[in-house]
Amino acid sequence: MIEIDQLQKNYGSKKAIDIDHYIINRGDLLGLVGNNGAGKTTLFRLILDLVKADEGRVTINNMDVSRSEEWKEMTGAYIDDGFLIDYLTPEEYFYFIGRMYGLKKEEVDQRLQPFERFMNGEVIGHQKFIRNFSMGNKQKIGIISAMLHHPQLLILDEPFNFLDPSSQAIIKHLLKAYNEKYGATILISSHNLNHTVDICPRIALLEHGIILRDLRNENNSAEQELEAYFNLKAEEAPEERPEDTPETAEEKSPENSETEAQA
Q: What pLDDT does residue 238 have?
A: 61
Residue % of the chain over a pLDDT of 90: 85
DSSP annotation string for 174-206: HHHHHHHHH--EEEEE-S-HHHHHHH-SEEEEE
**pLDDT at position 258 over 80:** no
Say whether pLDDT at 243 is over 60: no
221 pLDDT above the threshold of 70: yes
Residue 18: phi, psi to the nearest 5? -150, 85
Question: 44 CB contacts (<8 Å, ≥6 apart)?
Answer: 32, 77, 79, 155, 157, 187, 189
Q: What length is written for the chain?
A: 263
User: Is pLDDT above 90 for 30?
Assistant: yes
pLDDT range class, residue 239, cuts 50, 70, 90 = low
Residue 261 inside a domain? The answer is: no
- How many Å apart are CA 40 and CA 190, to the nearest integer? 9
Predicted confidence (pLDDT) per residue in 31-64, tens digit:
999 999 999 999 999 999 999 999 999 999 999 9
Contacts of 214 (CB under 8 A, 6+ apart): 22, 202, 203, 204, 205
Domain total of the chain: 1
Print the domain residue range for 208: 2-83+148-224
pLDDT band at 251 (very low <50, low <70, confident <90, very high): very low
C-alpha to C-alpha distance for 113 and 106, rounded to whole angstroms: 11
Instruction: Establish if 37 belongs to a structural domain.
Output: yes
Residue 163 lies in a domain: yes
In a domain, residue 125? The reply is no
163-205 pLDDT, tens digit each: 999 999 999 999 999 999 999 999 999 988 999 999 999 999 9
143 found inside a domain: no
Which pLDDT score is estimated for 11?
93
Give the closest residue to 240 by CA, choosing from 204, 206, 207, 212.
Answer: 207
Residue 23 belongs to a domain: yes
In a domain, residue 177? The reply is: yes
Q: How far apart are alpha carbons 163 and 147 in whole angstroms? A: 17
Domain with residue 173: its CATH number is: 3.40.50.300
Look at residue 185 and tell me if it is in a domain.
yes
Return the minimum-mean-pLDDT range out of 58-62, 207-211, 241-245: 241-245
